[in-house]
Structures are given as structure tokens and as C-alpha cells.
């Protein structure tokens, strides 16, 4: 369990002050290799899962999904793919890539550095099913004998043609600059068309990611020297006649200190709500190689189409919309937390668990409008229960209500409790502070009632 208390954003009440999250954007679990995509007004970020008890990349077996529609409060969907259970042939699950097409989500996953498979789902959070039962791309295929056959990036161009980019390595068979490949995907997204093509990508090491702005194609990637994020630009998705532009994200540092241990990085770039963002991982929480965390910062362009260097921040990015507390809010949606974990819920989705006395979860920029009078919370308590304090501004801030939680008889027996709240108006940072010993209860969701 990660137990982190993060610096708190000031209280907002009926002001126009810009709310920002803190980096990293998820602190209740370690994760890395963020692959971000936009779907129906929401950002979904698929991540490698750095498990608490693993100190090796060989322990990468699962993918975690988080999502947000405001870029500050993130919903933790938990583990959405387990390679040992959801694949019949793969042993590891290195950096993923997901795209939406044909009313389905296609997850491309590498088996360590040996091959790439595909799994399909009707929903972004899965379940994902492998339709092939074998690799989609492996080293026996023409021009695919790259040193590290991993780090897939699926990209669908404006004309509907889909591509899969992959590769990495640093030896004679895959020297820097010649270790990336691209191959066309058929419309079914589970078969390939033709032969893989080598991309000339100076300094390339691993982690290719492709995006398009206007008529230009951008291929970004972690490279050497420096473990910086380099990029090239071309006028075509095969990146023939491309040009190296330099570094878009230097190896993450704060106050002159490298917070990535000068180790590997991984990035993805999206356009959301008319703003460009770069997602990346570093090691600012753990200061350990195999315990990474996901961050996001703003990405901007120069007039000539080149990208400005991304500034690594503690504050992350601005909130783009307020959160509505009068709609059901999943308990696993949060900006900050202290001490909790998120696991699957018997009622579906996920829940907040592993609660100890004094733990809390927090939401930023919650708009209570002209006021709220009650809150209802979905809870389960195997023991005697405890209490939930509703506070504003901080975990010790203004107390506007306390909900008593009585035992429900088992962890699978859920009950909706209700209690009154007072003096809450406008936009606030909302804290749920948990009281009670020995995991007093678990939470599924909550919802306020307007005055």
C-alpha cells in the first residue's frame, strides 16, 4: 500500500481560481508506461502495474486503468487485464496501447520483449478477450526480428488506415535509430497487412508513440543519451524522410534533482478539450527503479509546429470542469488520498478498502451550487463500523457533517446510509475522513442531495 499525504490545494468557494491537481495523478498504487486515449469526453489512461512486492520488470503482469473528465479527479478502475489469466500464451505484460474502433477497444500487449498480442473489449475497463490465442506480431515475421519486440503503439489515421508501431533495443541487430518498426493493421484490428518497415529514429531506445497535429506526424520516444523523450516529424505515418527535432521532455527533474533516477521513461500525447497534454512516468514518490508513478503536464507547440519542451511540475494541470456532487460519485474517484487502497467491489466496479483511522480521500473543485442538505453513502462493514467525517478544504478543515456507519454483517452486504450536511455552497475541495479501527468499513459510492 502507498501511504502518501500530498500538499493540499486551497479552499475554493464561489471564485474563479484555477484548480490544479498534484503530480503524480494517482498515488494509491504504483503504475507506469501511461497510454492515454480520449473516448466520449473522457480521458482513459492504461498503465503497467508496478506491484508492491515486485522488484523487477519481470513482475509486470497486469494493466491498471484510470480515467477522468476534468483532468484532476481520477477514477481508479483497478486492474483491467491480467496476462496470466486473460492470455493463454503470454507470460509478461509490458507497456500497453489501446485504441477504439468498430465499437470495440483493442488492447495491444507485449509479452516482455518477444512478441505482441491483442485483446478486445466492448468497454474501456474490460473484460478483454484475446481472439487469436497467439501473438499478432512476433520475431519470425519479416523485418520483425528487432531486439526488443515490445512497446506497441496503435494509431488510426484520418483516412481510416491503422498502424502498429513497436520496437526497441540497443545492440548490433537493433542499434539506436534503427530499432523501431511500423506495420499496417487491417480494419479488423487483429491482423496485419504487409511487411514491417524500419523507421529511422535517431537516439531511439524504446517506447514509440505517434500522434498527429494538423498535417504533421509526430513520433516521440525515450532515447539515449539521457533517457530524454526525443521526437521526429514527418509528413506521412511511415515516417519516411522524417527529421529529428530534439528533446520534448528532458528526463524528469524538480529543483535540479532528477526524479526518474536517470532511468527509463515512457510517454503518450493527447488532445483533450482543445489542450494538448503529455503523460509520462517518473519515480518521485518511491525513489526506486521498479516503483513508478504517472504524471501529466501541459504540452505546447511553436508556430512552426515543433513542440516546446514540457515543463515537469508538482502542480500538474488545471481542472477543466467542476465535479457535480449531485450525481453518483464512485468512491474510487479522487484527486488525493491518504492510506487507502482500491479493489474490485462485489456490486461491480471498484471500492475504497484497507481503511484505517484517519485515512481520507479528497475531490477537488466540487461545485455545490446553492447548497446541499444531505449525503448518501454506499457502505459495507463486516465489524462494528465507524464514522465518515465530511470536511472542506483539508482533512482537518471545516466539519459539515458526520455519517455513522454501523456493521452490515459482511463485506458483501451493502447498505446506503444518509446523513445531513450544513453550510456548504459553491466550489470546494471535499474531504471524506474515515474514523474507526481495523478497516471499519468499505465504500462503493456517494451522492449529495441539493437544497
DSSP 347-372: TSSEEEES--TT-EEEEEEEE-TT-E
Closest CA to 98 of 63, 71, 131: 63
CA–CA dist 449, 446 (Å, integer): 10
Q: What are phi and psi of 85, to 5 degrees?
A: -105, -35
275 contacts 298 by C-beta, under 8 angstroms: yes
CA–CA dist 349, 56 (Å, integer): 29
130 contacts 117 by C-beta, under 8 angstroms: yes
60 contacts 25 by C-beta, under 8 angstroms: no
Dihedral over Cα of 394, 399, 401, 405: its sign? positive
- Tell me the catalytic residues: 33, 206
The set of cell numbers assigned to 380 is: 459495507
Q: Is 41 exposed, middle or buried (0-12, 13-18, 19+ CB in 10 A)?
A: exposed
Cis peptide bond upstream of 157, omega within 30? no
Dihedral over Cα of 247, 42, 332, 104: its sign? negative
Cis peptide bond upstream of 127, omega within 30? yes
Q: Which residue is listed with cell 454483517?
A: 409
Amino acid at each position: 500500500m502507498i501511504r502518501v499525504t500530498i500538499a493540499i490545494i486551497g479552499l475554493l468557494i464561489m471564485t474563479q481560481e484555477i484548480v490544479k491537481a498534484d503530480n503524480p495523478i494517482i498515488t494509491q498504487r504504483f503504475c507506469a508506461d501511461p497510454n492515454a486515449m480520449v473516448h466520449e469526453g473522457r480521458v482513459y489512461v492504461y498503465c503497467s502495474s508496478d506491484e508492491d512486492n515486485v522488484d523487477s520488470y519481470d513482475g509486470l503482469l497486469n494493466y491498471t486503468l484510470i480515467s477522468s473528465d476534468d483532468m484532476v479527479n481520477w477514477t481508479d478502475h483497478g486492474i483491467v487485464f491480467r496476462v496470466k489469466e486473460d492470455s493463454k500464451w503470454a507470460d509478461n505484460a509490458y507497456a500497453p496501447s489501446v485504441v477504439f474502433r468498430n465499437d470495440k477497444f483493442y488492447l495491444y500487449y507485449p509479452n516482455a520483449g518477444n512478441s505482441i498480442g491483442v485483446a478486445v473489449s466492448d468497454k474501456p475497463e474490460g473484460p478483454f478477450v484475446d481472439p487469436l490465442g497467439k501473438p499478432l506480431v512476433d520475431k519470425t515475421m519479416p523485418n520483425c526480428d528487432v531486439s526488443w519486440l515490445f512497446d506497441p503503439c496503435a494509431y488510426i489515421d484520418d483516412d481510416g488506415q491503422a498502424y502498429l508501431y513497436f520496437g526497441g533495443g540497443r545492440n548490433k541487430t537493433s542499434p539506436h535509430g534503427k530499432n523501431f518498426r511500423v506495420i499496417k493493421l487491417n480494419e479488423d484490428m487483429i491482423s496485419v497487412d504487409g511487411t514491417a518497415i524500419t523507421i529511422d529514429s535517431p537516439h531511439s531506445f524504446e517506447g514509440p508513440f505517434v500522434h498527429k497535429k494538423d498535417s504533421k506526424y509526430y513520433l516521440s520516444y525515450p532515447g539515449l543519451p539521457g533517457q530524454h523523450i526525443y521526437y521526429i516529424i514527418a509528413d506521412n505515418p511511415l515516417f519516411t524522410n522524417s527529421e529529428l527535432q530534439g528533446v520534448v521532455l528532458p528526463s524528469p527533474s524538480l529543483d535540479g534533482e532528477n526524479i526518474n533516477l536517470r532511468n527509463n521513461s515512457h510517454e503518450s500525447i493527447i488532445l483533450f478539450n482543445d489542450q494538448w497534454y503529455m503523460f509520462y512516468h517518473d519515480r518521485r514518490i518511491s525513489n526506486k527503479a521498479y516503483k513508478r508513478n504517472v504524471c501529466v503536464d501541459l504540452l505546447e507547440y511553436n508556430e512552426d509546429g515543433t513542440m516546446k519542451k514540457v515543463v515537469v511540475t508538482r502542480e500538474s494541470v488545471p481542472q477543466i470542469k467542476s465535479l457535480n456532487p449531485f450525481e453518483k460519485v464512485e468512491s474510487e474517484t479522487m484527486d488525493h488520498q491518504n492510506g487507502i487502497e482500491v479493489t474490485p467491489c462485489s456490486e461491480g466496479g471498484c471500492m475504497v478498502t484497507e481503511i484505517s483511522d484517519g485515512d481520507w480521500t479528497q475531490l477537488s473543485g466540487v461545485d455545490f451550487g446553492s447548497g446541499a442538505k444531505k449525503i448518501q453513502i454506499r457502505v459495507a462493514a463486516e465489524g462494528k463500523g465507524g464514522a465518515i467525517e465530511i470536511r472542506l478544504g483539508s482533512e482537518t478543515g471545516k466539519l459539515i457533517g458526520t455519517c455513522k456507519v454501523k456493521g452490515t454483517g459482511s463485506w458483501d452486504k451493502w447498505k446506503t446510509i444518509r446523513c445531513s450536511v450544513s453550510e456548504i455552497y459553491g466550489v470546494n475541495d471535499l474531504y471524506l475522513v474515515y474514523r474507526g479501527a481495523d478497516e471499519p468499513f468499505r465504500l462503493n459510492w456517494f451522492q449529495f442531495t441539493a437544497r
